[in-house]
Structure 1
Amino acid sequence: MPTGTGVGGGGGGTTNPNGDPTPATDDSPPGKFRVNPENGRVMIDGVDTQVRGGNWFGLEGQDDLERPGAMELFIGSMSWVTTTRTIADTMKELTSSDLKFNTIRLPIAPQTLDAAHPDGDYTKTPKLKNNNPTAYPYANAYAALEDFLKQADANGLYVILGLHSCSNHIGWRKGKLDDAPPWVDSSRENYDYKKDNYTCASGEDAYNKEKWLANIRTMAALPKKLGIDNILGIDCFNEPWKYSWAEWADLAKECYDAIKSQNDDIIAVVQGVSGSHQTPGGSGLDLTPEPHGDENLNPNWGENFYGQHTYPIQIPRNRLCFSPHTYGPAVFVQKQHVDQSQAGCAGLEDEAAAAAKCGLDIERSNPDAVARLEKQWDEHFGFLHDEKFCVITGEYGGVKDWPKNEMEPALAQMWAHLPAGKRYDWEWQNMYTDYLIKKKMTDFTYWSINPESGDTGGIYGHKYTDADKTGWGTWTGLDTEKVQMLARLK
C-alpha cells in the first residue's frame, strides 16, 4: 500500500486494475436486505423502503476530562441521568412522532465488542458519568450493545452498526485503521480533548486490518447470536479520510467479504474519503491532494466518492450503500461557505476566515449560494444516485443558531463580527434537505439523536446552558424545527 502502513489494499488499488464497472449482483438469492438495481432504494423483504433515522452515539467513546484516556463507552451519553427516560421510551418516541424513524445508526469502537475491556466495565470506580443502575442495568458496554440491538428489534427499528474508530481513546480523529499522531486537532484553539499521547499504530490500542476484519465478522454474526433480524447494514469504518479512493475501495471490498462470510442479509455501508490522502511513504499529516472535482469546493471527511468514476468499487450493487457525511459551518467552515468576494478572504476557511473577519455566503434565498453547494454535493456523491446506486446520507446536522453554541461558547467570540440573528448552519441544513428532496435521494441518518454532541446538538433538546452547567445530562423534548425539517424528507 502506498502509505507504507501494511494494512490495506496495496499499490493504490489492486482489486480492479482494469477499471471494471461495479458488479450488479452477487448472484445470491433474494434476502431480507437488498438494494433495488432499478432505483438504488433499500429493499426490505423485497419492498422498497426509505431509510429514515438518526445517529445514537455513546458506545464509540465519550470524551471524559475527569478520567483522561478512558473515554466512556456509555450508550446515550448522559441521557439516563434520571429514571424518567429509558432506551425503550426514546425508541417508541422516535417511531411514533412526526419523525417516523425506522433506523438507528449506532457507532461503536473495537473495545465495545470486548466484554472484558476495562473501558467498558460499568462496575469499576470511578463510575461512568451518571451511570444510573436502575435505568442502565448493564455490567459492561458489550452487554449494553446486545440489549440495545434487541430493544431496537422489539420496537421495529433497523440498525446500521458502524465501526467508528480504531480506538475509543481516539474517536473521530483517526483517518485510517492504524492511524497515529499528530492529530488534526493538535493545534486547534479552545479545544480540550487533544489526544496526542494515543495511537492505533502500537501499544495497547494497536489496530490493523486483521483486527478490523475480525470485528466486522463479529458484528455480522450478531443477528444469529441474538436471534434478531434488524441489522440492516454494517458501516465499515467512519470517515477514512487518509486513504485514497482506490485504497479505501479495496479495503471496503474486504469489509463486504467479511460481512458475507457471516451473514448474507447485511448490506455493506461504505463512506467516502476526503480532499486529500496520506502521502505515499509519509505519515501523520503529510498529505497529498485527492481528486474531487472543483478545487474550490472542499469535501468533508467521508464525503468524497469522486474516485468511483475511474476506480469502481467491486462490491455488488445489490449489497452496497454509499454513505456520505456532509456538514455546514457548525462543524467546519469550508471555503465554499465563505464570501469569496470579500477582500482578503479568498481561499480562507474556518479559524483563518474568522481571524480575517470574513463574512459567510449561505442563504437559501441566494441562487448562487444554492447552485454552489448543489455542485459540491453533485460532484462528490450525488452522481452516484443518478447512476442508480444506493445513497444514504450517514451524517448531517448542526447547531441551528451557530455561531451561538451553549456547549462551545468560544465560537461566538471568534465569529462575533457576523450579523446578529443570522442562522447560518440552519440555512445550510435546510439547503441540504432541499437538495435531497430535489434529487429524490431521501435516505438519511441525521446526526444526532443525542443532544450532547458539542458541534451539532441533537434532535432532542438539552437543559444545559453555558450559564447553568447543572443541566448537563438532562434531555428536554424533541426539537420542533428539526423534526419539521426532517419530516420534509419523504
Structure 2
Amino acid sequence: MQEIFSEIARGFSILKWRYLAIFKFRQLAKRLRIWYWLSSALISLLIVSLHPQMLLPADAAVTIQTPLSTQGARIVDAKGSPVLLRGVNWFGLESSIYVPHGLWVRDYKEMLSQIKTLGYNVIRMPYSIEAIRATAVGGTGSINYYLAGNSELKGKTPLEILDALVQEAGKQGLMILLDSHSLDSTKLPELWYDSKYTEADWINTWTMLADRYKNQANVIGADLKNEPHGVATWGTGDQATDWRLAAERAGNAILSVNPNWLILVEGTDGNVVGQKLPRYDWWGGNLEGVKNYPVRLNVSHKLVYSPHEYGQGVHDQPWFYEANFPQNLLDRWEIGFNYIATQGIAPIWIGEFGGRLVDISSKEGIWQQQLVNYIKQKNLSFTYWSWNPNSGDTGGILTDDWTTINTDKQKLLSTLLTGGDAISTTNTQPPATPPSTPAKAQLAVTSQIQSYTQNFCTDIVIANNGNASTKDWKLTFVMNQATLTNAWGGNFISNNGKYQVTPDSWAKVIAPGQSVKLGYCANKKGTQYKPSQLSVSAS
C-alpha cells in the first residue's frame, strides 16, 4: 500500500494544494489516511457520577444514547437499542500539518455540518503521536483563520484543535472515533512501536486521551492501531510482534481510565496462526485469528473488530481475476472477518473502505458495489475512506474544491443512509395506505439553522410522507440579507433573494417513508437572514 502525506500550498488566497511526498511500503499501494441538523437544543448531555451520557439525534424517530456497548454481534446504546455507525474518515491530524485537511478552504463547523446533513453519524479521526505532542500547527496556511469558525483555532495546539472539533461535533450530533493512525507524520509502521516511539509512548498517549475525553460523551472509542502489517502476527505469543497481545495491553489500559469506550481492534495482513486464506494482503484486514485467539479485555461488552477492505484501485489483487469474481469476495469476507459477527462473537465495524470507481463495469466499481450491498445485508457499521478529496488512490466524498459532493459515491453510500441511521428495531414506517388510495408522493420540508457570529448554516430535510416514490422534486425559499457561500445535496439558483433548488441525481428519488438531506452555509448581511417561505413539490 502507498502512504500519501500532503503539505498545503501556502497563502490564504490559494485554494489548491499539492502532494509533496508519496511513500511506498512493500508491494501494496496505500496512503496515510490522512452529523444535520439538530441544534444544541436537541442535544442533551447528562453527566452522572460514573460516566457521561449523550443523546445523539439519528433521525426524527430515533435517538442514540451513549455510552455504547456490545451485545453479541451488535453495537447497542445505553438503552440497549441497536446502533449502526455510518461515517467517514477525515484525515490530516496524522500528517505533517497536524490538523484535519481542508481547513485552508473550509470553516470546520461548516464541514461538520455538511457531514451530518448528508446522513453520517460518526467521524473516524486519525492522529499521530507526533501531532498530539506538537506545540503548534505544522506550517503556514494550513488553516484559514479568516473564516469565522476557524478564527477560534488560532494559537491553539493540535490537541486543543482536536478538542474544538470534538466539542463542535458533539453540538452537531456527531460521534467521534479516535484512530491511532501512525506514530509520526512520515510513515505507517508495521507495529505499534518503532525506533523513535515505544509501546509505552503509544499506550500513554491513549490513556491521556481516554482521560481527557472521558466526560466528552460523543467520543465513543479507540481504534487502537491503524493497519498492523509486515512482521505483525496474531496468536504467536511473541510479545514483540503478536498484535493480539498488544491490543489487550493497550485496550485494558484505556478501559482502566475510561471504561465507557468501545475498543476497536484491526487485523493483520497475514502471519495468523491457523490462517485459512492463502493470501490476505490488505493491511489490517485479516481477523481469522480471533476464533482461536480472541482479544481478552477486562471490561466486557466493549470489544469491536475492525477490518479494512479495498479494491483494485489500491492494489491489484489476484482474487479480482478469479473466474467466480465477484461472488468469491463473499467467501473471503466471511472467512477473513465476518464469521466473527455471524457466530455472535463480537460486532464488525469496517474501519476503512473506498475507491474512485463505483460503476458496474470496472473491477473496482464492482467490488465497491458488492461491499456496500454486503454491509447493508449484514447490518455492519462502517467509516468510509475518505471524506477528503486528496486521498491519492481513492479520492473522497468531497471533490477537489472541498465543497462539492461526488454524487456517484454519495448515491451509492446513500443506500446505507436512507431513512436515517437504521439504529432502532422500532418500525418507524408510516402505516400502509389502503389499496383504494391513489399512489402519490407527499413531500414535507423542515429546516434547522446553526448560527455563528458572522455566518450560519441551514440543514434541510425533505421527507416523503406519501405512498409513492418521487421521480424528481423542487424546493423554493426566500432568503434576504444573506449571501450563499456553499451548498450541498442540490443545485441552488438565486434570483433577487428567491431561491430554487433541484436535487443532485442521487437524491431525485425519495421512497415512501424516506427522506433526503441537503443544506447550505451563508454569510449574514443583516438581522433578517433566516430563510422563509420554504416549499417543496414532487414530480
Give the TM-score range, shorter chain: 0.5 to 0.7
Q: Answer whether contact 1:401 1:424 (CA < 8 A) is retained.
A: no
Q: Return the match for 2:315 from 332, 339, 348.
A: 332
Q: Answer whether contact 1:81 1:131 (CA < 8 A) is retained.
A: yes
TM-score by length of 2: 0.60
Q: Answer whether contact 1:274 1:302 (CA < 8 A) is retained.
A: yes
How far the C-alpha of 1:39 sits from its partner, in A, is: 4.0
Whole-angstrom CA distance in 2 between matches of 1:324 and 1:129: 35
Partner of 1:193: none
Q: Answer whether contact 1:298 1:336 (CA < 8 A) is retained.
A: no
Which whole-Å deviations, capped at 9, do the CAs of 1:379-430 have from their partners, x for residues lacking one?
Answer: 110101112211111000011179xxxxxxxxxxxxxxxxxx9533222111
Is 1:109 aligned to 2:124, yes or no?
Answer: no
Partner of 1:157: 174
Counterparts in 2 of 1:427 and 1:133: CA distance versus 1, 3 Å: same
How far the C-alpha of 1:130 sits from its partner, in A, is: 4.4
The within-5 A match list for 1:383-422 is 383-388=339-344, 389-400=346-357, 422=361
Q: Answer whether contact 1:299 1:376 (CA < 8 A) is retained.
A: no
Q: Return the match for 1:95 from 97, 110, 116.
A: 116
Whole-angstrom CA distance in 1 between matches of 2:232 and 2:395: 29
* Counterpart residue type for residue 244 of structure 1: T
Is 1:424 aligned to 2:424, yes or no?
Answer: no
Q: Return the match for 1:434 from 373, 378, 393.
A: 373
How far the C-alpha of 1:245 sits from its partner, in A, is: 1.2
How far the C-alpha of 1:437 sits from its partner, in A, is: 2.1
Which whole-Å deviations, capped at 9, do the CAs of 1:92-142 have from their partners, x for residues lacking one?
Answer: 122122xx11100000000222242xxx445xxxx3454322233333322
> Is 377-386 or 127-136 further displaced after alignment?
127-136
Is 1:243 aligned to 2:202, yes or no?
Answer: no
How far the C-alpha of 1:74 sits from its partner, in A, is: 2.4
> Is 42-51 or 159-168 further displaced after alignment?
42-51
* Counterpart residue type for residue 126 of structure 2: P
Greater relative contact order, per chain length (Cα 8 Å cut-off, separation 6+): 1
How far the C-alpha of 1:29 sits from its partner, in A, is: 10
The within-5 A match list for 1:13-412 is 32-61=66-95, 71-75=96-100, 77=101, 79-82=102-105, 85-97=106-118, 100-116=119-135, 120-122=136-138, 127-135=139-147, 136=150, 137-139=153-155, 140-170=157-187, 172=188, 174-178=189-193, 200-201=194-195, 206-224=196-214, 227-241=215-229, 242-246=231-235, 247-276=242-271, 291-295=274-278, 297-315=279-297, 318-337=301-320, 339=321, 368-388=324-344, 389-400=346-357
Q: Answer whether contact 1:35 1:390 (CA < 8 A) is retained.
A: no
Whole-angstrom CA distance in 1 between matches of 2:184 and 2:224: 14
Whole-angstrom CA distance in 2 between matches of 1:386 and 1:376: 14
Partner of 2:29: none
Whole-angstrom CA distance in 1 between matches of 2:368 and 2:358: 11
How far the C-alpha of 1:317 sits from its partner, in A, is: 5.1
Which whole-Å deviations, capped at 9, do the CAs of 1:46-90 have from their partners, x for residues lacking one?
Answer: 3221101000100011xxxxxxxxx22121x2x2334xx311112
* Counterpart residue type for residue 398 of structure 2: Y
How far the C-alpha of 1:228 sits from its partner, in A, is: 2.0
How far the C-alpha of 1:45 sits from its partner, in A, is: 4.5
Q: Answer whether contact 1:235 1:269 (CA < 8 A) is retained.
A: yes
**What SS class does the counterpart of residue 369 from structure 1 fall into?**
coil
Whole-angstrom CA distance in 2 between matches of 1:60 and 1:440: 30
Q: Answer whether contact 1:303 1:380 (CA < 8 A) is retained.
A: yes
How far the C-alpha of 1:450 sits from its partner, in A, is: 0.9
Q: Answer whether contact 1:115 1:143 (CA < 8 A) is retained.
A: no
**What SS class does the counterpart of residue 178 from structure 2 fall into?**
strand
Whole-angstrom CA distance in 1 between matches of 2:277 and 2:228: 21
Q: Answer whether contact 2:388 2:396 (CA < 8 A) is retained.
A: yes
| Higher share of residues assigned helix | 1
TM-score by length of 1: 0.65
Which whole-Å deviations, capped at 9, do the CAs of 1:271-326 have from their partners, x for residues lacking one?
Answer: 111124xxxxxxxxxxxx7653131x524111111111221221255111111101
Which whole-Å deviations, capped at 9, do the CAs of 1:256-278 have from their partners, x for residues lacking one?
Answer: 111112112111111111124xx
Whole-angstrom CA distance in 1 between matches of 2:201 and 2:245: 16
**What SS class does the counterpart of residue 373 from structure 1 fall into?**
helix
Whole-angstrom CA distance in 2 between matches of 1:238 and 1:451: 20
Residue identity over aligned pairs, in percent, reads 26
Unaligned 5+ runs, structure 2:
1-49, 54-65, 236-241, 417-421, 423-539
Unaligned 5+ runs, structure 1:
1-27, 62-70, 179-199, 277-288, 341-360, 362-367, 403-420, 463-473
**What SS class does the counterpart of residue 461 from structure 1 fall into?**
coil
Q: Answer whether contact 2:52 2:217 (CA < 8 A) is retained.
A: no
Whole-angstrom CA distance in 1 between matches of 2:52 and 2:143: 43
**What SS class does the counterpart of residue 215 from structure 1 fall into?**
helix
**What SS class does the counterpart of residue 326 from structure 2 fall into?**
helix
Counterparts in 2 of 1:133 and 1:333: CA distance versus 1, 3 Å: same
Q: Answer whether contact 2:70 2:303 (CA < 8 A) is retained.
A: no
Larger Rg over CA atoms: 2
* Counterpart residue type for residue 353 of structure 2: Y
Aligned residues: 342
